Every structure is written in C-alpha cells, then in structure tokens.
Amino acid sequence: MAQKRILLGVTGGIAAYKSAELVRLLKKAGHQVRVVMTSGAEGFIKPLTFQALSGEPVRNSLLDPEAEAGMGHIELAKWADLVLVAPASANFIARLANGMADDLLTTVCCATTAPIVLAPAMNQAMWSNTRTQRNLALLEADDQIRLWGPDAGDQACGDTGPGRMLEAQAIAERVDQDNRGVLAGQRVVITAGPTREPIDPVRYISNHSSGKMGYALAAAAREAGAKVVLISGPVSLAAPAGVEVRDVMTAEDMLAAAETAVDEGCDIFIATAAVADYRPETEADQKLKKANETMSLALVRNPDTLATIAGRSNPPFTVGFAAETNDVEHYATDKMARKKLDMIVANDVSQPGIGFNSDRNTITVFWPGGHQAFDNDTKAGLAGRLVRLIAERRQQAAGA
Ligand code: PMT
C-alpha cells in the first residue's frame, strides 16, 4: 500500500468529531497527515486535538503572516497527494462549487492539482435542498473531485435521512483502496439488478436482486477512471455519480441494451444481473382470472446476455457472476468455461446476510488457472478490490 501525503480539510459540522478518529486511522496506516480547519470547524473541535493526533501544526488562517511568509497555501497545495475534506459542509460545498478562494481550505483546493475527495455531512433537508444538489452536480462533473457518501440514517438533530458522514473507518479504507486511474480511458459496460418477465398487465416473474452489487461496481469503475454504462433492471437505487444508466425491464431488453452498448465500444463487460432464465411464452393482454385450483404457465428460455457478448468474434474482457447455494466452485468454474468468460465471481448465497438484496457479500473470484477469495465485506468495499483485480487480470491476459 502506497504511503500518501494527505491534507485533511475539516469544515464546520457535528461530524467533525469523527475526523479526529480519521486522522488516527490514516496515521496508523502509515500516511502523513496535515490538517487545515475552517473557522466553522473550530466551533466544534479544537486545533490542538488534530495537532496531537497528526503530529503536525494545524493551519486555519489564510492570512497567517508567519506561514504565508513562505507562501504556505501554495506549499500545502503542492505537498498534498490527496486533499480529503471530511466533513464537507453545505457551505463549503457551495463555496468550492463556485470556485471561491476566501479562506485557506478553499484557496488550497483552487491551487492544488491533487485529487480532492469530499465526505459530505449535513442535515437531510440541507442535503436534499435544490441549491445544494445543484452545487453537488457541478462538483460531480469536475474530474478532480470525488464524493464519498453520505450515508443515510439517524442524524444528530433527530432527523433521519441522507447526510450522515461516512464512518472514519470506511473513509480510511477507501483511501487505501484508491484505484484512481487503474481503468483510465477504459469503457466498461455492467449489467445489474433483476429482470421482470410479464405474465399479464399486473404480474411478472422476477427475483430478489436489488442491484446493489452492480451499482457498487459501476461507482468503483467510474472512480477508477472508466467511462461506465450501467444497464439496469428495475431497482430503487440512485444512479452513481458520473455513470450512464440505461433502464431495462426484461431479459430480452437487457440483451438488446447490452449489444448496443458493446457496439458503441466496450473494453470490459461485467454481468452482475440476476436475469430470469425463463419468461412466460405469451403475455396475456388482460389480467388473468382465477379459474381452477391449479394453473400452468408455459415458459420459454430467455437469451443469455453474457454468453452472447462473450461469444462475439472480438469480445471485450468478460466477467460473470454466479450465485450458488452448493458446490460453489464447481458450478462457478463450469459456468466460466461454458460461457467462455475471462473471470467469474462466485457468491455463496446459502449464507445468511450476503448476496441477494443485502449490503454485504463474500466472494471468490476464479479465472483460468487461478482464484482469489475475498473476506466478507460491504459491496462497496468488495467493488473497489474487484475493480483492481479485473484491471490486473485484464492486463496480464493482454500480455500473455
Ligand atoms: O443485486 P444484488 O441484490 O446486489 O445481488 C447481487 C447478486 C447476488 C445478484 C450478484 O452478486 C450475482 O451473483 N449475480 C449473478 C446471479 C446468477 O446466479 O446468475 P446466473 O448463474 O443465472 O448467471 C451467470 C452469469 O450469466 C451472470 O453473470 C448473469 O448476469 C449472466 N446471465 C445469466 C442468464 C442470462 N439470461 N443472461 C445473463 O447475462
């Protein structure tokens, strides 16, 4: 793991107490940390806390004659490998989005060429406010800036909703899993979620896929520098920042959307979707009525999107997923061989709390001649590691 020089910006918010733990974790991981506080932050936590934890003087003023004698703000901007602002308040986000340089932290952000990561923290109504969202949209379109979080849940003010800063542990892990640039210039197409196969106008066949694994991978691939198209079955997740989402409903729609996206240009194709293997032979025009004690539906096989893309004459690097309840390795590697894949990610969905519709997963990745197991982790955490492994395997396969 590469040691980084991290400039931690702390702005005014109750979540500033988590930043003290963040400094401790970053230092423990071997990084150098310098802290810049805004005047608002000092209302919540004292500079001395950060000085003691970082072992470095804390800077808080742009007009500090001593520090600025050596052009301290420019020196700080050049020193940092990463500028991490946690918590990033609504006020700071507004000032950054508009290019302001009216205190030390915004000035350093204007002067640095290092990546800038924001971990927003604010009340849920402030987060949802149209002006905040407009400012966030400006920052999301800025290649130098990444947003990590926020989480949703209980807030210090008693409200519940989006706006909680990510936990210090989660931010520190993401710093170490920083994949920035590993997929630079690559075009990645990902399928996610379930498909719905209509029986009649009000009923369908589907499954419990939530799309979380595919959306986490799309966010991680984008963060690694890829241009990402996410072909999504019906889910209730927000589009990851900077990712183009194309909504589909049925397995046939998914195949058509995937063929189009791959025709447009695709280096890596990742299929996390749980596609219905069969669909009703006919879709009734009107709602079916109860008649007998039992009823039968004639089902026909759906097309296989992943096998179709992998079977092309000049296929992209293809990664499949396999959700299995038993003989996981056997079934997963069999699927990899039958579908002619470069890699397959197996999850044992017989285990409670992982796989379908959960926030966590436990996976083993197989490729011809090798495998790697990953411990139980959040889908976001696994997505970062998978993106790195996919980038490495693809490079090795290309060089072989
Ligand atoms: O969405 P989540 O709630 O986060 O859950 C994630 C997940 C459990 C759905 C995901 O991690 C996963 O394992 N997806 C694959 C599910 C599966 O068992 O797929 P399969 O064995 O039916 O298919 C194998 C591979 O072929 C998959 O990559 C699948 O996307 C693809 N496939 C399958 C059938 C089909 N008609 N078209 C396909 O592209």
Averaged pLDDT for residues 170-174? 90
Q: Using a pLDDT cut of 90, give the percent of the chain over it.
A: 75
Which stretch of 19-23, 218-222, 356-360 has the lowest confidence by average pLDDT? 356-360
Query: For residue 387, is it within any domain?
Result: yes
User: 194 with 166, same domain?
Assistant: no
- C-beta atoms surrounding 340 within 10 Å: 14
Whether 110 is catalytic is no
Ligand 1 atom, smallest distance to 345 CA: 13
User: 66 with 170, same domain?
Assistant: yes
**Nearest CA residue ID for atom 24, ligand 1:** 322
Averaged pLDDT for residues 184-209? 97
**Nearest CA residue ID for atom 31, ligand 1:** 306
CATH number of residue 338's parent domain? 3.40.50.10300
User: 164 with 261, same domain?
Assistant: no
**Nearest CA residue ID for atom 23, ligand 1:** 322
Q: pLDDT digits over 302-320, tens only?
A: 999 999 999 999 999 999 9
pLDDT at 398: 80
Domain's final residue, options 123, 145, 176: 176
- C-beta atoms surrounding 1 within 10 Å: 10
User: 164 with 219, same domain?
Assistant: no
Residue 273 CA to ligand 1 center (angstroms) comes to 4
Distance CA 397, CA 268 (A): 12
Domain's final residue, options 125, 156, 176: 176
Domain's final residue, options 152, 176, 200: 176
Q: Which domain holds residue 75?
A: 5-176
Pocket of ligand 1 (CB under 6 A): 191, 193, 209-213, 251, 271-275, 302, 304-306, 320-323, 335, 347, 349, 355-357
Q: pLDDT digits over 346-368, tens only?
A: 998 888 888 899 888 999 999 99
pLDDT at 303: 98
Band (19; pLDDT cuts 50, 70, 90): very high
CATH number of residue 154's parent domain? 3.40.50.1950
Residue 319 CA to ligand 1 center (angstroms) comes to 11
Count of structural domains, the chain? 2
Q: Is the pLDDT of residue 255 over 60?
A: yes
Q: pLDDT digits over 380-397, tens only?
A: 888 988 999 999 999 888
Query: For residue 182, is it within any domain?
Result: no
pLDDT at 35: 97
3-state secondary structure the chain: CCCCEEEEEECCCCCHHHHHHHHHHHHHCCCEEEEEECCCHHHCCCHHHHHHHHCCCCECCCCCHHHHCCCHHHHHHHHCCEEEEEEECHHHHHHHHCCCCCCHHHHHHHHCCCCEEEEECCCHHHHHCHHHHHHHHHHHCCCCEEECCCEEEECCCCCEEEEECCCHHHHHHHHHCCCCCCCCCCEEEEEECECCEEEECCEEECCCCCCHHHHHHHHHHHHCCCEEEEEECCCCCCCCCCCEEEECCCHHHHHHHHHHHHHCCCCEEEECCECCCEEECCCCCCCCCCCCCCCCCCEEECCCHHHHHHCCCCCCEEEEEEEECCCHHHHHHHHHHHCCCCEEEEEECCCCCCCCCCCEEEEEEEECCEEEEEEEEEHHHHHHHHHHHHHHHHHHHHHC
User: 163 with 238, same domain?
Assistant: no
User: 27 with 89, same domain?
Assistant: yes
Catalytic residue among 109, 110, 157, 266: 157
pLDDT at 158: 86
For a ligand 1 pocket test, name from 197, 208, 209, 365 the mutation site with the most ligand atoms within 8 angstroms of its C-beta: 209
pTM: 0.73
pLDDT at 375: 84
User: 129 with 85, same domain?
Assistant: yes
- Phi, psi of 183, rounded to the nearest 5 degrees: -120, 30
Query: For residue 196, is it within any domain?
Result: yes
User: 56 with 169, same domain?
Assistant: yes
Residue 320 CA to ligand 1 center (angstroms) comes to 7
pLDDT at 69: 56
Ligand 1 atom, smallest distance to 211 CA: 1
User: 141 with 242, same domain?
Assistant: no
Query: For residue 290, is it within any domain?
Result: no
